[in-house]
A and B are shown apart, each in its own frame.
Chain A
Amino acid sequence: MGKNKKALSASDDVEDINISPLIDMVFILLIFFIVTTVFVEEPGVDVIKPVAYNAKDLPKNCILIGVTESDNVFYGGEEVGLNGIRVKVRRMIKENRDYPVIIQADVGATNGTIARLIDECKLAEVPAGNIHVSMEKLNN
């Protein structure tokens, strides 16, 4: 804009750079990011996921819970433990009953912990079919 004004007053031969394609592109990028953004709190732990052939795509809008190899339970970047997870999940489920729970478990996590975690989710009133374990998909 400053450029335009200068060109007007000085009346010289400086060619104006046409910025409308740039703005169009920025708008398109903006719309892309608005549409693809999901506000999901990541557990913030790196896990090695179990592998399976039958893994299916899971919904993007979800509650993510991380379980490390040493059976520590993480939610939203902090360790909450098995006892703290029910409150967190219940709060999310109150907002939207259809929120699925995805457990990002390390291959080395014990089944006892996972089963207790699933029980906690069920007690937080997550429908039984909405609790998933995250996996790495193998292609046969």
Chain B
Amino acid sequence: MRNRKHFNENDEMTDINISPLIDMVFILLIFFIVTTVFVEEEGMATNTPDPSPQTDPPDEDKVRLTLLIKSNGEVFSKLGNVQKNIGLGGVRALVQQEMQREVYPILVNVEKDSRIGTYVTVHDTCMLAGAEGITMKVVQE
């Protein structure tokens, strides 16, 4: 637009040279295109007991249901003093039945060599069954 005006009036007004500006803008644009990473992460917060030794273990009285993930992927439940091999498929029904009476935190014990994939499935299933406050704790085999 500026150019055209300059053209028509034929005056002495000098045009500002904007090509360095455009060059710079292009360089900036290329820099930002190259450095952009689109981080799109989804996930869950994980609860673990505090690592410092002086803190108390989680309140065992409030935790009535304990799940145990063995290193071979088996899932055991411990309700009161009864221990049962329920497998991954049995988690949802058990947790749902427990949560219908009262919602309380669940402790998931995991053996050192069990897989994170199994734990995530158990955690997810517990949440789908309505549990809140699921804590992961590593136990010795």
Contact call A137/B42, Cβ cutoff below 8 A: yes
**Interface digits, B30-43 against A, CB 8 Å rule (1 contact, 0 not)?**
00110111111111
State whether the Cβ of A55 lies closer than 8 Å to any Cβ in chain B.
yes
State whether the Cβ of A105 lies closer than 8 Å to any Cβ in chain B.
yes
Residue of A67, A102, A107, A111 touching B138 (CB-CB under 8 A): A111
**Interface digits, B122-141 against A, CB 8 Å rule (1 contact, 0 not)?**
01100110000000111000
Contact call A64/B42, Cβ cutoff below 8 A: no
In the complex, chain B residues 61-102 whose Cβ is within 8 Å of any chain A Cβ:
69
Contact call B51/A119, Cβ cutoff below 8 A: yes
Place the interface of chain B in its size category. Answer: 35 or more
Residue of B33, B51, B124 touching A122 (CB-CB under 8 A): B51
In the complex, chain A residues 53-112 whose Cβ is within 8 Å of any chain B Cβ:
53-58, 60, 62, 64, 67, 102, 104-112
Residues of B within 8 A of A119 (CB): 48, 51
How would you classify the secondary structure of chain A's contact residues: helix, strand, loop or mixed? mixed
Residues of A within 8 A of B128 (CB): 53-54
Tell me, in angstroms, the Cα distance from A119 to B137 when the chains sit together. Answer: 11
Residues of B within 8 A of A133 (CB): 43-44, 46, 116, 120
A31 to chain B, nearest CB (A): 9
Tell me, in angstroms, the Cα distance from A131 to B112 when the chains sit together. Answer: 19
State whether the Cβ of A38 lies closer than 8 Å to any Cβ in chain B.
yes
Residues of B within 8 A of A42 (CB): 37, 39
Residue of B35, B119, B137 touching A37 (CB-CB under 8 A): B35
Tell me, in angstroms, the Cα distance from A71 to B4 when the chains sit together. Answer: 66
Q: Which 8 A-B pairs have the closest CB atoms?
A: A107-B117, A112-B112, A33-B32, A50-B120, A119-B51, A52-B124, A55-B42, A111-B110
With A4-B15, A53-B124, A114-B116 given, can you name 17 additional A-B contacts, CB distance below 8 Å? A50-B117, A52-B43, A55-B42, A55-B44, A102-B43, A107-B116, A108-B115, A110-B116, A114-B46, A114-B119, A118-B46, A122-B48, A128-B47, A132-B41, A135-B43, A135-B44, A135-B120
Interface positions of A (Cβ within 8 A of B): 1, 4, 8, 16, 20, 23, 26-27, 29-30, 33-34, 36-40, 42, 50-58, 60, 62, 64, 67, 102, 104-112, 114-115, 118-119, 122-123, 128-137
